[in-house]
Amino acid sequence: MILTARYHEGVRRAAIGATREAADLLEPVLDRTLLPHGYAAVGEAHPLLARARALAERLGITVPDSATAIDDASLDIDV
């Protein structure tokens, strides 16, 4: 919910031309750093991440494509 609010405020700031403020608001949404549980704050397929990436591109912000490549350990399934 907090990341969604940051995105929406970023949209508002971008609309009035405050691009640096918008970029600062988008930063945690776009952050692909893996958290202790092994995932980024927003999943790769999440619509919020897609919208934030699109806005960042319009603002000229460089955005990483994904967190990291999937490693073999993440594909293990206990049967």
The Cα–Cα gap between 7 and 19 comes to: 13
Q: What is the pTM of this model?
A: 0.76
Dump pLDDT digits (tens) for 6-39: 999 999 999 999 999 999 999 999 999 999 999 9
> What's residue 35's pLDDT?
92
The Cα–Cα gap between 47 and 70 comes to: 20
The Cα–Cα gap between 28 and 14 comes to: 16
Domain boundaries, the chain: 2-63
Dump pLDDT digits (tens) for 59-79: 998 876 665 444 434 444 444
Q: Is the predicted pLDDT of residue 46 greater than 90, yes or no?
A: yes
Q: Where are the beta strands (DSSP E) in the chain?
A: none
> What's residue 31's pLDDT?
93
Query: Measuring CA to CA, how many Å separate 46 from each of 43, 50, 67, 69, 76?
Result: 5, 7, 13, 17, 23
Residue 35's contacts (CB-CB under 8 Å, 6 or more residues apart) are 41
